[in-house]
Each structure stands twice: as C-alpha cells, then as structure tokens.
A and B are shown apart, each in its own frame.
Chain A
Amino acid sequence: MARENLFHCQLITPDAALADELVSSVVVTAHDGELGVLRDRAPLLCRLGVGGLRMQTPTGTRQFFIDGGFMQVYSNELVILTPQARPIDQIPVQDTQRQLKEWQEKTAHSLAEQETKDVEVRRLRAQLRLAVKNK
C-alpha cells in the first residue's frame, strides 16, 4: 500500500488509548449515520453514535464497537474520543444476548428508567449486530 495514502488515527477512551496507528481509511458511526474518512480530509468536528468503527491498516482491518463520543479530523490526524470502546472480536455474544434479554424483560417505572433501558438496549443490540456480522 502506498505510504502517501496513509494518515494517523487514534482511538482514546478514559481508561486508555486503544489504538494509535497509520491507516488508509476509517469508517465510523457518526450521530447521523456512517462516515468515511480518507487522507487529506477537510478539518471536521463531529459527534459520534453508538456503533462500529472500521480502520483499514496496511496489515489488515481493525474493528471496534464505540459508545458515542466525538471525532476530530485535522491535518491528517484523526482522533476518536469515546467513553467506551471494545474490539469486536472481544464481544462475548452469549453474554450480550443474555444481558439484552434481561434489559428487554425489565419493566421501567419512570421516565428516567425507560430512558436508561432504551440506551442499554440500543447499546447491546449494536454490539450484538457487530459481533454476529464479524463471525
């Protein structure tokens, strides 16, 4: 792969920096749908959604689940800040299925509880979708 097509990409969570490498393209779930980034993209500040992150590196593809956050593109440097991220191959499918079932069966007694339930269900569904797709 031509080196001139590469740019720098970092995935940072509050606990640690999960990825810091040269990539040729990135596809990330933004707040309004998927968004692709290539080298020499114009500066961008964007809110992220709950879903997948796909990094095309010279050695292969790396995929993560991200739980919202923010993205900054500036001068061939892409920074993804997310409160929670996980490599897709590390998502435990059975555990996630069980958790999803538990949350779906839970009864919400207030508006706040309903909101928490919706967020959790959406998050678990996204994880499950990515994990199953990856198999």
Chain B
Amino acid sequence: MAKARQIVKRRKAVSNIKKITRTMQLIATAKYQKCLQRAMGTKPYTQRITQLVTELAGQVTDINHPLLQTNSGSGRVAVLVITSNRGLCGGYNAQILRTALERFRQVEASQRQIQLQAAGKKAIAYFRFLGRALHKSYSHFDDRVRFEQVQGLADEFMAAYERQEVDAVYVVYMRYISTARQRPEIIQLLPMSAPQSEQKTTEAATPVQYEFSPSPGELLAELLPESVRVRLFQCFTDAAVSEQVARMVAMKAATDAAGDMIKYLTRTYNRARQTQITMELLDIVGGANAISAS
C-alpha cells in the first residue's frame, strides 16, 4: 500500500497548491480591474496635454526648447527598465529584460555608455546578477503608482538631459494593448520629437485664434516638460496593468495544470489500489488452491 499512500500525499499537496494559485489568480483579476480603471483614468489628461502641445505648436513659429535639441557630447544614454517587484507572472519580466539587453547591445555597439536605471526588484536583481552597474534603482513603484512619484523621476531625467549629462533617455516597459496582447516596448523619452501642428498634418480650415496668457512660447515651454512627465506616467500605469494581466494568465495556467495533475494522480491511485486488491485476492485464491490440492 506504500505507493498508493505516496500518491494520496502528493495529490493533497497538489490540491493545496491549486488553492493557492486559484486565490492568486482571483487577486490578480481584481487588481487588474483596478489598474485598468486607473490607466483609463489617466488617458484624458494625456490626450488633452498632447492636444494643447499640438495647438500651441501651430502658433509658435520657432520652437526652441532644450528638451527638443539633440545632445551628442556626453556619449552616455540613460535607460530606465520597468519590471515588477514580484515574481509568479510568467514571462513578463523575462520579455522586458530580453528587450532591454538587445537595446544595450545596440547602444554599446555605437560606442556609447549606458547609464542604467532599474524600476522593480526583478530588474535590480537581474542586473546585479549580470554584474551591470546600476546608476539608480527604484523599488517603491507598486501597482498604484502616483503621478507625484513619477513626476520627480521625470524631472530628474529632464534636469540630467538639460545639463547634457546624457544624450538620450529610453524607457523599456511592457505596453498594454489589450487583455490578450501586451508587448515589450522601448520609447525614447528624450529628446522629444518636435510637435507637429494640426494644420500641417490635416490641413484644417482656419486655425483657432486663441488668446494666450502668458505668451505661446512660454506656455509651450511649460507644456513640454508636462508632456514628458505624462508620457513616463503612462509607461508606469501600462506596466502595472500588463503585470497584473501576466500574473492572471500565469496563475490560471498553474491552476489548470494543477487540476490536470490531480486528475492524473487520482487515476494512478485508483489503479494502484485496484492492483493491490487483485494481488491480495490472488494470494488468497492461490493459498486456498494449494491447501485443497494437498
């Protein structure tokens, strides 16, 4: 009966694991709904800021802002890699880190140094394992990232860019497209691409004659940093949603796999038990036959 007892023990262990993964799946689903709601809540602000930049770009003839100019003197490129703080989310972190490493290779091939910044414990641990020097690391960004937190980070990037300490700033994160699709993506945060006015692209009739306070140039100078902050914030909210989706999918797969294993173990146990009974019966019948024959 030793084998059957072992199978029962194993089945119990698997069933406990299934309970845990199922709970984690439910938690991830709840968190995903919240994160998605937050990510959708940030969209109107982002869209309006972008719209204002576009409107202003049509009014300012000579846009000259440090964030739009290309730096080339420092030979350094800042890369921010956004991963999760926790594991058990399938290939989420591995995909981001793989994409980041590809970009590192490209940058290093062009004889430029990387100023690496990591957000999320997984990225920090991975780059430490690889022996890469981390310029800065952040592990305080969770699934409820606040704008103020990201604002500080964006301001640091912009200050470093304006001081010409870095030639460009890239962000590697998981972009949320839909529940079924997320994709690791690299965006160039700085230098910004020059805003195009709507008139140039869509050839609208007459531009709106706005009254400006202060001047359009000053307004644009304030709006450009804000649009950088908003873009970085969007990266963080997208990453939070993608993480929860990945965890949800991974935990569902784990729950299903545990269910399959329980079924398999139950079948194996029944067979082992049946074999045991048959063997015992054979023993008894064999014994009885031997007695009657003698």
B213 touches A81 (CB 8 A): no
Total number of residue pairs linking A and B with CB closer than 8 Å: 71
Q: Contact string, B224-242, partner A, CB cutoff 8 A, digits 1/0? A: 0010001001000000000
Q: Which range contains the number of B residues in contact with the other chain?
A: 20 to 34
15 further A-B contacts with Cβ under 8 Å, apart from A32-B213, A43-B211, A45-B55, are A13-B147, A14-B45, A14-B46, A14-B147, A15-B146, A15-B147, A43-B210, A44-B212, A45-B210, A45-B213, A45-B216, A45-B219, A70-B223, A72-B55, A84-B148
B208 interfacial contact with A, CB 8 Å: yes
Tell me the minimal C-beta distance from B94 to chain A in angstroms: 30
Q: Is B41 an interface residue (CB 8 A)?
A: yes
Tell me the chain A residues, 19-67 only, with Cβ under 8 Å from chain B: 30-32, 42-47
Closest to A17 in B: B44
Q: How far is the CB of A94 from chain B (nearest CB, A)?
A: 22
In the complex the two chains form, is A79's CB within 8 Å of B48's CB? yes
**Contacting pair A74 B49 (CB below 8 A):** no
Do A12 and B55 touch (CB < 8 A)?
no
Chain B nearest Cβ from A109, distance in angstroms: 18
Contact with A along B253-274 (1 / 0, CB 8 A): 0000000000000000000000
Q: Of all chain B residues, which has the CB nearest A20?
A: B44
Question: Residue-by-residue, is B9-48 near A (CB-CB < 8 Å gives 1, otherwise 0)?
Answer: 0000000000000000000000000000010011011101
> What's the nearest-Cβ distance from chain B to residue A67, in Å?
10
Tell whether A83 is near chain B: CB-to-CB under 8 Å.
yes
Most chain B Cβ neighbours within 10 Å, of A14, A16, A70, A72: A14
Residues of B contacting A81 in the complex (Cβ-Cβ under 8 angstroms): 45, 48-49, 52
Nearest CB of B to A85, in Å: 11
In the complex, what residues of B have CB within 8 A of residue A30's CB? 213
B44 surroundings in chain A (CB, below 8 A):
10, 12, 17
For residue B216, which residues in chain A have a CB less than 8 angstroms away from its CB? 45
* Interface residue from A17, A42, A83, A84 paired with B41 (Cβ < 8 Å): A17
* CB of B280 closer than 8 Å to a CB of A: no
Is B222 an interface position by the 8 A CB rule? yes
Q: In the assembled complex, which residues on chain A have CB atoms less than 8 Å from the CB atom of B219?
A: 45, 47, 70
Min Cβ gap B38→A in Å is 7
Chain A, residue nearest B51 (CB): A72
Asked if B190 is an interface residue, CB under 8 A from chain A, the answer is no
| Alpha-carbon separation in the docked complex, A10 to B56 (Å) | 20
Residues of B within 8 A of A15 (CB): 38, 41-42, 146-147
Nearest 7 CB-CB pairings of A with B: A14-B147, A16-B41, A46-B213, A43-B210, A44-B211, A14-B45, A45-B210
CB-based nearest B residue for A42:
B211
Alpha-carbon gap, A74 to B209, bound state (A)? 10
Interchain CB contact under 8 A, B48 and A31: no
A108 shortest CB reach to chain B, Å: 17
Residue A14 contacts which of B55, B210, B214, B233 (CB distance < 8 angstroms)?
A: B233
Judging by beta carbons under 8 Å apart, are A45 and B212 in contact? yes
B52 cross-chain contacts in A, Cβ below 8 A: 45, 70, 72, 81
* Contact partners of A74 in chain B: CB under 8 A: 208, 210
Residues of B within 8 A of A46 (CB): 212-213
Of all chain B residues, the one with the shortest Cβ separation from A83 is B147
Known: A43-B209, A43-B211. A13 touches B45 (CB 8 A): yes
Least CB distance, B60 to chain A, in whole angstroms: 12
- Counting CB contacts under 8 A, is B151 at the interface? yes
Q: Mark A68-101, 1 if CB is under 8 A from B, else 0.
A: 0010101000010101100000000000000000
CB-CB < 8 A to A16: which residues of B? 41
Instruction: Give, as a whole number of angstroms, the nearest-CB distance from A132 to chain B.
Output: 25
Cα distance, A32 to B38, chains bound together (Å): 33
Q: Which residue of B lies closest to A41 (CB)?
A: B211
Cα-based distance from A70 to B56 in the complex (angstroms)? 12
Which of B38, B45, B216, B219: most chain A Cβ within 10 A? B45
